[in-house]
Amino acid sequence: MKNKFHLIIAISILSVFPLSSIAGATIAIQKCMLCHGKPGFKKVEETGKVKELYVNLSTIEKSVHKKKTCTDCHADVVEIPHKQIPQKVKCIRCHFKGNPDGAPQSDKYLEYQESIHGRAVKSGNRKAPICQDCHGNHDSKHTKDVLSKVHKSNVAKTCGGCHIDIYAQYITSIHGKALLLEHRIEAPNCTDCHGEHKILEHTDPKSMVNPVNIVKTCSHCHNSVEIVGKYGIETSQVSTYEHSFHGIAVKFGSKTVANCASCHGKHNIAPSEDPSSPVNIKNIPSTCGQPNCHPGANINYAKGKMHVNPKSKQSGIIYYVAFFFKYLTLLTIIALIAHIILDLNRRSKEWREQKKKI
């Protein structure tokens, strides 16, 4: 009873003074913690949803915002008790290029506004993620902190909070296992393929996972000796694909020709020896035989070598045929040039002889 009396007196005194008139960050935070520092402090909304209002001060002290006061973010809170329900924090107050607050100098907030998530928020979708859903609220940490929700090892789990079905596929894929189980930090997570703040629909030509951009997105890792080469993964698949019929068609803007994801899958990519993999030898006929590709594909489609490199002896007869025609073409060109030179020489002699007769 005595503690309640003291709390009422404190709130009554503090309500006379707006928060902006209190000097010192510590005092400002202590004011807020009179209520929000009480474990179990919460509010039951009209819908029956329970909204937690308790804030652990130690959580803030370990965050990237430890030097900030509550009202630096909750700028619409100007008095205690609150006459109006505080609005959602708008991170753009500090996170913009040229800000004087010490926040990262970037336009990532503007990129977010143009993303599929940002546009969903603008349209009134209350389930669409905002900054706090991905980066955290009072526990927001630096991206390189292993406890951060957006640390590379945690991104998939964070995205999985909304995209749970895709998350379930990813964690069982070759990429998910490499990153989450084998701790290979080079393995791709959601943002490596879809982007970070500027995530766009796959139908958008600017999207990293649009059919015309898939090869470029996958090539970032699979064409790099530094990333996949050190794990014994070949990097020649990219160049062999680019020189194939499919790859050339993509360069000319085809949106229906097979790309990396068409054959290997998307979130559930598995190694070729895995029976569930679309490129497992038993599954190749059905993979190639998709309605928009080669309907009626049979077992013969699985007999040929994929990603053929005619410059490698591992390609078998294709290597020797390519070798033969390479030098046949070269010798033909040399012979043609020699023939032209000899013919010009003969014509020159005939012209000189005719000139002497005249």
pLDDT recorded at residue 254: 87
pLDDT tens-place string over residues 167-188: 999 999 999 999 999 999 999 9
- Closest to 196 (Cα-Cα) out of 116, 305, 298: 116
Q: Which residues contact 98 (CB under 8 A, 6 or more apart)?
A: 105
Q: Which residues contact 13 (CB under 8 A, 6 or more apart)?
A: none
Mean pLDDT within 312-322: 78
167 in Cβ contact with 152 (< 8 Å): no
pLDDT recorded at residue 213: 93
CB burial string 260-293: b at 16+ within 10 A, e below: bbbbbbbbbbbeeeeeebbbbeebbbebbeeeee
Higher-confidence residue of 300 and 338: namely 338
- Closest to 263 (Cα-Cα) out of 288, 237, 239, 236: 288
Angle between helices 2-14 and 25-36 (to 10 degrees): 130
Cα–chain-centroid distance for residue 270? 19
Helix (H) or strand (E) holding 350: helix 317-357
Higher-confidence residue of 122 and 30: namely 122
Query: Helices marked H in 105-206 — which ranges?
Result: 108-113, 116-122, 131-135, 155-160, 164-170, 174-176, 190-194
For residues 229 and 297, give the distance between their C-alpha atoms in angstroms, rounded to a whole number: 33
pLDDT recorded at residue 24: 52
Among 5-19, 25-39, 131-145, 342-356, which stretch is predicted with the lowest mean pLDDT? 5-19
For residues 64 and 145, give the distance between their C-alpha atoms in angstroms, rounded to a whole number: 10
The pTM of the full predicted model, rounded to 2 decimals, is 0.77
Q: Which residues contact 115 (CB under 8 A, 6 or more apart)?
A: 195, 197, 198, 199, 200
pLDDT, the chain, mean: 87
Query: How crowded is the C-beta side of 138, counted as CA atoms within 13 Å?
Result: 17
Q: Which residues contact 140 (CB under 8 A, 6 or more apart)?
A: 63, 64, 65, 132, 148
- Closest to 253 (Cα-Cα) out of 213, 307, 218, 288: 213
pLDDT tens-place string over residues 67-100: 888 989 998 988 888 888 888 899 998 999 999 9
302 in Cβ contact with 281 (< 8 Å): yes
Among 294-298, 315-319, 351-355, which stretch is predicted with the lowest mean pLDDT? 315-319
> Which residue do the tokens 């008790």 mark?
81
Mean pLDDT within 53-77: 91
pLDDT tens-place string over residues 243-280: 888 999 988 888 889 999 999 999 999 999 999 999 99
**pLDDT band of 2, cuts 50, 70, 90:** very low
Decide if pLDDT at 313 tops 80: no
184 in Cβ contact with 231 (< 8 Å): yes
**Domain ranges in the chain?**
1-86, 206-309, 315-358
Decide if pLDDT at 3 tops 70: no
Tell me the one-letter amino acid at 2. Answer: K
Which two structure tokens, joined as six digits, stand for 75?
A: 């700028």
pLDDT tens-place string over residues 26-35: 667 788 888 9
Decide if pLDDT at 56 tops 50: yes
Q: How far is CA 233 from CA 221, 222, 237, in A?
A: 10, 8, 10
Dump strand ranges (E) for the chain: 42-44, 50-52
**pLDDT band of 234, cuts 50, 70, 90:** confident
Mean pLDDT within 33-46: 88
Mean pLDDT within 30-45: 88
Quote the longest CA-to-CA distance of the chain: 135
For residues 144 and 155, give the distance between their C-alpha atoms in angstroms, rounded to a whole number: 12
- Size of the chain in residues: 358
pLDDT recorded at residue 236: 86
Dihedral of alpha carbons 102, 103, 104, 107, sign: negative
Q: What share of the chain in percent tops pLDDT 90? A: 57
